Chains A and B, each alone.
Chain A
């Protein structure tokens, strides 16, 4: 299956997020690798996704799961060789699957040769590649992101006897983007991978590139100028490639990252995700509709990226205090589940392994405006291990079968990079791909089905959204429209059966056709359209004027 030539391919994409290390170990050393991932591309193709987003695979001391890069132009030896990566890329493309890779622009590992040179002497040519200071009193208005770990954004370097700036962990010094040589070097890094054939970058931590006194050092105009320059070069030299922004910000602050369609193609909609969980727990559409109403219009070539869970904690930075307290009490009563300002859990345990809620959340993920991202393992309902430190509990090996090491690796179990989930509910004997492939009603089959339905029309990826406002607040209903095509989506956020009357007069005369079973429903008339929905049920109706 060849790749589509459409430059807006990312609007129709369904992205699968995976870490090479976690997916499949082909070499038997206990760590997933490129060859292993390549062997499992058929599985991903069957699932129906058409893009994979690979988490960092570069050489790294791995103190932040690879986001501490020590060499941008190579791959970590645990995952294979650069040639292995090229083969993976080609295989993915041959299956119609695009490849998105991480690019950590903001900082490097303190083990990166650039930093080693920079700290070696104040006269080193690379001294100015990082942000140094004689005092730790600069940029006082800047928040600390990893509050659980860091006390300051400055760290003392005993070698060069000065402070260096870091927005994340202290072993991740920030690059100095005021230095043109740094900007040029980082573009060269991107070019290296683009020339190899990668389709897109997920640019990590983009709000923090530039620092200015008297500001909060986030979202500065100088940062946007740098990003626009990268985009310009991308469009000129590599048309059809894509940039995805990781900027955990409020929608209004995120909007500038799209520019006039000349900065990022896509950006994560961070504030929506916790509100989907909140709406479900509250049984009230209010949190979801409110944040979407606050979401500004974006240029037509741009797209939001939606997700339920990812490799990080379920971030609660973009919620109010009262919402955060509610989320903690609702989803992380056990305090060990909390990390930084978030909840380090996977989708299925967050939803009490309730299949109906898992389906509903995926239904919303697939039908709200944006490109959905599925986190590896969530398609089979994998669990987490909160006893593993940091966010490692949601980064455990993929569970392929009920056999040795869950089919992930032939290594001795104690050589695995992380222990498999073993508890009776989520452990690999109970939750694995092989058993779900063999069961027609498994979550895996259901995910294949919803992805297929979503992919059957461009309306979900490209259409507009009109919210309906039924008096029953437990019902979230909207119409997605693209050209002559309209799809009515009705979600019951409640754990009890609900009746709802929808004002569909605008669609009078249309016949709703339920998109999964393709059954027809009564024609829309002048009167309110009455629907009844079971607990957590949702409908997608194609509205046909026949």
Chain B
């Protein structure tokens, strides 16, 4: 997800921030994510995972009172671990979006009729969405580990407990702990292109 910072400049404020109202609302985002992940377990619909990812990305730990943040970070990491576990349960290992995309044609004129590629598109859509969610979840889970946990034994213990409770695989654990990959510089496809 794109991240933009807004640097404050001095102007007359128009309203006061309603702290108590906001603080009581924020933890709901984690609850919403938990509900969405439960929905996924029932329906196996990858869009339920997307709802959970949306909710977790919208959770703002810094809006909580300091004494609420420790518990919130544990729940946050636990839910990111569950998201990654659920993504792994739908994402086909080695799926390559470029390998065999659906053909955007139902029945070309003068050729044997094709069936409408609806089923193939649905499968492809699920896998493409799983890749997108994986990218977002790994990046966000890494940010939680990097910004909210220290190297102290207590923090590391809590972190590992969240990974374990969330059912995070060893490979995913290593991915979350590693530095995120930089966005690749994507070169144009090397094929003839004429006008």
The answer to whether A binds B is no
- Which chain B residues have a beta carbon within 8 Å of chain A's beta carbons? none
- Which chain A residues have a beta carbon within 8 Å of chain B's beta carbons? none
